[in-house]
C-alpha cells in the first residue's frame, strides 16, 4: 500500500487532487519551483503537466503513496485522500 508510485497510480493521484490546488500539492511534495515552471512552459495541456510534474517528483525522490497521502492531509484535503484510497487497488 505504501510502496513506490507507478503507472496507473499516477493517474489516480492526478484525478484525486483538484486542478486548482495541483501546484500547491507539488510544492508540498517538495518539487522545486523551477521544475514546476519548466513543466508549465514545456507542456501544453494541464493533465500532461500534472503527469510530468509527478513523474519528475518520482525520479527525484522516494515517491511513495504514504508521502502523497501525507501531503493531502497537510493541505487539509482528507476527502481527496479518501477518494484516492478508494481508487487504488488493494
Domains identified in the chain and CATH numbers? 7-87 (1.10.533.10)
**CA-wise closest residue to 64 among 10, 18, 27:** 10
> Structure pTM?
0.90
Pairwise CA distance, residues 18 & 2, whole Å:
22
Residues 6+ apart with CB under 8 A from 35: 53, 56
* DSSP helix/strand/coil, 4: strand
- CA–CA distances in Å: residue 83 to residues 16, 31, 36, 79: 6, 23, 25, 6
What is the pLDDT tens value at each position of the chain, 90 positions in all? 456 677 788 999 999 999 999 999 999 999 999 999 999 999 999 999 999 999 999 998 888 899 999 999 999 999 999 999 999 876
Amino acid at each position: 500500500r505504501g510502496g513506490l508510485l507507478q503507472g496507473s497510480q499516477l493517474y489516480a493521484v492526478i484525478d484525486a487532487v483538484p486542478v486548482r490546488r495541483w501546484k500547491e500539492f507539488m510544492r508540498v511534495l517538495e518539487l522545486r519551483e523551477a521544475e514546476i515552471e519548466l513543466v508549465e512552459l514545456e507542456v501544453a495541456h494541464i493533465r500532461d503537466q500534472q503527469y510530468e510534474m509527478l513523474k519528475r517528483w518520482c525520479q527525484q525522490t522516494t515517491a511513495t503513496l504514504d508521502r502523497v497521502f501525507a501531503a493531502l492531509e497537510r493541505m487539509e484535503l482528507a476527502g481527496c485522500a479518501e477518494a484516492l484510497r478508494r481508487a487504488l487497488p488493494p
